Structure 1
Amino acid sequence: MKDTKILKIHNKSDKPDNIVIRDNNLIEECIIIEKSLPNFMKDYFVYLKGSVSVSTRHAYLKDIKFFCNYLVESQELTIAKEICDITLEEFNLIKARDVNLFLGDYCTRYYKHTSQDTTLIYENNNRALARKKSSLSTLFKFMFRNEQLDSNITDGFNPIKLPKPQPDAIKRLDIDEVAKMLDSVENGYGLTDKEKVYWRKTKLRDKAILALFVTYGLRLNELRELNISSFNFSRGEFKIYRKRGKEVLMPINHTCEVVVKDYIYNERTKSELLAEEHKDALFLSLQNKRITPKAIRQLVKKYTSISMETSRDSGYSPHKLRATAATSLIQNGFSIYDVQNLLDHDNVTTTQLYAAHKKHVKRDIVNNFEWIDDKKETSLD
């Protein structure tokens, strides 16, 4: 049996080991995908390394491999039996129409035969199609600029219309629901007897997780990757790693300092009893390992469902707590630019969606505050 490859990192950066290992695991996956793709794309691989984040590079490569696999399966644009055997000459014959058919016809609904009796049906919504289009656009544009292709076919790609998000459709907790959620994790309110068995072992951890989510609007991985060493309580701050590897210092408020310290000192397993790779991890599972994304989603879903008095399946995801933080801050008078900075929105228009809720509050106030009680219409002579 082939030995499993163990990745060891000699970390000389100021980033914590878990962040470096996470990125390097993604890089290893990128390398594996690159090896399966045609060799004429090598220049493009080098370009991706220096121009996009590791996660974006990984996503682009997966989409390009998916497209190349389609070319091999359809056998309409290549005679290659393997992805790596597709030639540059064949790639140069691809037209915008071919890509549009791939995105608009194949990607919207395709099938994978997993066994003799099972066929999986996959569907992509417009957001997923737009990402695949973006991935292919970068490839074809680069190869044209790199003088590998005769023409830039991307101008002929069909537009993909994304639904405009509506402020009223944004799912988030109201302020009283946040209070009910935190009360539930504090006192066990709304939990089943089975859930209370685990709650007694993890309530301080869960409380700290929920408090950080609704205060800072952290993304799931930003919270999951937190370490004990991320916090400098004497300076009143902690460090997080955003998308694209951005390192950000966040001020810690009194509430979050209290709940995080309470968890560290009174519930979390002592670091000296943990395996080396988990010694610094802030949030641990009952198995004394860094908590998984799935476990975080499940606990958020559980407590939000209790706060909304709905079924567990109808509970919210961690991203809805990010929306909760945004709307709560705006309703409490903070500007959209302050909230944009705190939540790391690339575009202020994203933050403006949450600000629309504040407009509704203003409308309710003025509609219910009339100086003149006479509702009859007055005409001007």
Structure 2
Amino acid sequence: MALKYHEQVDRDNTIKLRELLSELPKFCTTFFRGIEQRTSSRTRIAYAYDLKVFFQFLIDQNPLYKGRKTSDFNLDDIDNLSVLDIEDYMEYLKYRKQSRKDSKGNVIVSDVINSRTAIKRKVASLRTFYNYFYKNQLIKNNPAALIQMPRLKDKEIIRMDVNEVADFLDEVENGDGLTKRQQIFHDKTELRDSAMMTLMLGTGIRVSECVGLNIGDIDFNNDGIHIHRKGGKEVTVYFGDEVEGVLRRYMDYRKHIIAETGSEDALFLSLRNQRITVRSVQYMVKKYAKTVTPLKHITPHKLRSTYGTNLYKETGDIYLVADVLGHNDVNTTKKHYAALEDERRRSARNKVHLRND
């Protein structure tokens, strides 16, 4: 029996994590086993990459561990680090050299410059790492908890305006702004691309949720799609008449495509008749958006932000937006749509009259 998309992703990530663990100290296995039930496989891989950078820093920069092998580290080494050591790590993250081997085995050295956001994420990973061992009384000191996290500036939420959404979908349908080479492929993918872009703009689902859809996940009786959310939750998200029309046309087309082995159930296929990938959808969005909104960096996540904005403007219900987008904490939603909330509060200033005219 073929695995579902999210099951296949978890399987591949588990295999990748085992490879990464072989490059980390043995005691790290305890940490990853301990957080398995409350983190996604993708999150655990991110932690593994971040920890790999941390131990490489100790080997390259800390005199006590200079030249040591990663496998030689133990919990006492972690326990003996100070706040100053962690601060040195944060400074190291701003700029560092990274070595890797190419396909011919040659060592390639490249520069890595991390933004404040990237540094904050790596330090947050280290905090989680330290907190686990500290709370389980396996170490006595927790210097990572004493570090002041980098302050980040609030980023402007990039989204498409109503007219830009209409122009974007027109471009997906007709492909007038594409290169001649892109237009050749566009003739073969227009129905699929229109269905995907309309679905994402009309429901706010994540790109991973979109590519993970199977044919059987579409329910036209109730105008809903069955998706697998981050964290393992399975929900039904409902779509409107515009989405239904495009989806029905694509479904009629999809019935006549013979998919490759392992992708028989996949709703959206690549030109090779395999389940389409997240990266392919990212390229798809960029390809169409740059002809419509060249000054905005539109990604699949920006389509999600566009939907959330439109839903909030129409309903004024931040809790509904949080629920539909699958945010576990409504404060996450409020943070993204704070400007709109302020706009709504401002619009209330003349709604209540204190005296009759």
Cα gap change, 1:354 to 1:88, in 2 (>3 Å): closer
Mapping 1:1-381, distance limit 5 Å: 17-78=4-65, 81-103=68-90, 105-113=91-99, 119-165=109-155, 169-266=156-253, 268=254, 270=256, 273-308=258-293, 310=294, 315-352=297-334, 353-354=336-337, 356-357=339-340, 360=343
Cα offset for 1:362?
8.5
> 1:249 is paired with a residue of what secondary structure?
strand
Unaligned runs of 5+ in 2: 351-357
| Most deviating of 180-189 and 113-122 | 113-122
Q: Could you report, residue by residue, the CA deviation over 1:298-319 in whole angstroms, capped at 9, with x for unpaired residues?
A: 22122222333x38xx551111
User: 5+ residue gaps in structure 1?
Assistant: 1-9, 368-381
Tell me if the contact between 1:330 and 1:355 (Cα under 8 Å) persists in the aligned partners. no
**1:278 alignment partner, SS class:** coil
User: How much identity, in percent, do the aligned residues show?
Assistant: 30
8 Å contact 2:191–2:250 — kept in the other structure?
A: yes
Taking only aligned residues, the RMSD between alpha carbons, in angstroms, comes to: 2.7
Deviates more, 1:69-78 or 1:89-98: 69-78
Q: Which amino acid aligns with 1:106?
A: Y
Q: What is the rounded CA distance, in whole Å, between the counterparts of 2:108 and 2:141 in structure 1?
A: 42
Equivalent residues of 1:100, 1:158 under 8 A apart:
no
Once the two structures are superposed, what CA deviation does each residue of 1:174-197 show, in whole Å capped at 9, x if it has no partner? 111111112222233333333221
1:154 to 1:294, Cα distance in 2 relative to 1, 3 A: closer
SS state at 1:151 partner: coil
The 3 A distance-change label for structure 1 pair 62 and 327 is: same
The structure-2 alpha-carbon separation of the partners of 1:358 and 1:154, relative to structure 1 and needing over 3 Å to count, comes to closer
Secondary structure at the aligned position of 2:225 is classed as strand
> Any idea what SS the aligned residue of 2:226 has?
strand
Q: How many correspondences in the alignment?
A: 345
Deviation at 1:253, TM superposition (A): 2.3
Change over 3 Å in CA distance of 1:43–1:186 after alignment to 2: closer
1:45-65 superposed Cα distances (whole Å, 9 cap, x missing partner):
221222322222221122112
Alpha-carbon distance in 1 for matches of 2:325, 2:128: 28
Q: CA deviation at 1:356?
A: 2.5
Q: 1:275 to 1:330 in 2, by over 3 A?
A: same
Taking structure 2 as the reference length, what is the TM-score of the superposition?
0.87
TM-score (norm 1): 0.82
1:34, 1:45 within 8 Å by CA — same for their partners in 2? no
Equivalent residue of 1:250, what SS?
strand
- Aligned residue number for residue 6 of structure 1: none
Q: Distance in 2 between matches of 1:361 and 1:199?
A: 41
